[in-house]
Structures are given as structure tokens and as C-alpha cells.
Amino acid sequence: MQFLVDFENVHSPGLRGVELLTKADGIIIYYSESCNAIEKGMLKRILASGCSFQIEKLKSISRNALDFYIATHVGEIYGQNTDEVIGVVSGDKGLKALREFWLTRKKQVVVKPTIIQCIISANETNGRTKAAHREVDMLNLEEEYNAYRSKQERIQRMRDIVGGDVDIAEFIMARIAEGIKPRELYLYMLKTFGRVRGTEAYRGVKAWRMEK
């Protein structure tokens, strides 16, 4: 997939989704002298993806000049007799005419304000599309926060059981997640805390483990 980024319009936020780029992709960022700063993290992700990366500086300052650059490049790409999907990353509604024009020629151009939205709209049959959908899924803020608080409280209870030792608490929780056998856990508690304190702590961990 080829991504043509109207950087003057979307700036760095438009690059959301660059972590989903692959070596098979290409990205061209169209920019001007007044809009030439990119977030360091975004650029690092683009380079790390291994995709084909280019920049194109606007040479003449005039209304819609950058749109003409993009439209011309779309024509160049499809002039190479390819069926590749092109994602135009822009919030400029006028660029949607590109999609309509190429649709009549059975070519797919999607126009969205971010890379990740372009990927979703392209609807490729691969894992990337599913990953993109997962990223933009809407969650209930209250439910997610309550789940977070519940998890934090559960972690704190484990720390209390082992006397506030964070390292031991994290080790035990990790081993439980791995499926440690009760006897192995019991022996670990005895070795760590001694027979009396270890037996008491093991009972606490056992009760913690049974919590829903």
C-alpha cells in the first residue's frame, strides 16, 4: 500500500499508525518550509518499518498546490499499471474527488486523516487490518477504569500478604500466571519466609488465588 501524506494538513498526528507499516509499503510526506517538523518517535517508526520512504517539498506557494502534487503522483503510480491501494492521508475534503475519479477506473484510493484510518478503509485481508481495528475500538472509560482499579487492588493485596516485598509479590504473581503447582508454591513460601510465616503466607496466597 502507498501512503501519500498531506503533512501541511495533518501534521504528525496524521502519522498515527506508522507502526503498522511494512517493507511492502511506501510513504511519501508532502511538506512546505513552514511545516517541516516531524515528531522524532514517528520518524523512528517509519524508518524502522523498512518501508520505502520519501519526502516531497512544496516548491511553489499557492492555493491547493500540495493537492496537485498528490493528485499528480497518484496518476504516476497508477500509470505504472498497478492495482496497489493508495492511502491519501489528509483532512482536505476536496481530495475525495481523487477517490471518486479512480473508482470509475477500478482503482482504490482512500482519503482519511490518519494512516491507521487509511489502513482500515483499505480493508486488506491481513492481520494488519485487524490490528488497526483493535487500536481504534471504542471502550467504556468507566468500565476500563474500574477494571484497572480492581487489578491494582488485587496487586496490593498480594503485596500485603508477602509483607510489602514488591519483588516477591511480582514473582509469585508471575509464577501463578504460568500455572505453578500448589506444592511448588508452598515449598517456595517456606523457603522464603520460614515454616510459620511461610505457611501463613501460603494460605493467604491460596485465598488470593481463589478470588474472582
Q: Please give the pLDDT value at position 88.
A: 96
pTM equals 0.71
Distance CA 68, CA 71 (A): 5
81 pLDDT higher than 90: no
Residues 6+ apart with CB under 8 A from 65: 58
- CA-derived radius of gyration, the chain: 27
pLDDT digits (tens, 9 = 90+) for 104-135: 999 999 999 999 999 999 988 788 888 888 88
Q: 62 is written with which cell numbers?
A: 499557492
C-alpha to C-alpha distance for 109 and 87, rounded to whole angstroms? 6
The upper half-sphere exposure of residue 96, i.e. CA atoms within 13 Å in the direction of its Cβ, equals 6
Residue 47 has what pLDDT?
A: 95
6: left (phi over 0), alpha (psi -120 to 50) or beta: beta
| 45 band by pLDDT with thresholds 50, 70 and 90 | very high
Rounded to 10 deg, the angle between the 195-210 and 141-161 helix axes is 160
Domains located in the chain, CATH noted: 2-136 (3.40.50), 141-210 (no CATH)
The average pLDDT across 30-59 equals 91
**Has residue 89 got a pLDDT over 90?**
yes
